[in-house]
Amino acid sequence: MERLRKRDEAAGVEPQVLSDAQKAAVAEVRSLYSAKIAQAEVMLQGRLLQSFDPAERQVIEDEYRREREHLTSEMNSKLEKARSALG
């Protein structure tokens, strides 16, 4: 951790201390999106169990991958908003 702090100091990055409200908002966003990603994973497994065609399975996996990337991007955006909100 110390090396990371020194690297941040050298790069001019200032440490950000989050308020309790910001921490709660970050935790809520992470919890919500962790649940959404877990739900997508369960749906993927269910769909894969119903399909035996390799091409169809690939399509299902590609859809899941896109959905997961979308959810992760959305989560990161909301986390950034929660961190930058005035506490």
User: pLDDT (tens digit, 9 = 90+) per residue, 22-68?
Assistant: 999 999 999 999 999 999 999 999 999 999 999 999 999 999 999 99
Percent above pLDDT 70 for the chain: 98
pLDDT at 50: 97
Structural domains of the chain, count:
1
Helix (H) / strand (E) containing 63: helix 54-84
pLDDT at 10: 84
pTM over 0.95: no
Judged by DSSP in three states, 19 sits in coil
Cα-based distances in Å from 66 to 44, 46, 57, 84 = 12, 17, 14, 27
In a domain, 47, yes or no: yes
In a domain, 24, yes or no: yes
User: Residue 86 pLDDT more than 70?
Assistant: no
pLDDT at 66: 98
In a domain, 1, yes or no: no
Domain that holds residue 33: 18-84
In a domain, 11, yes or no: no
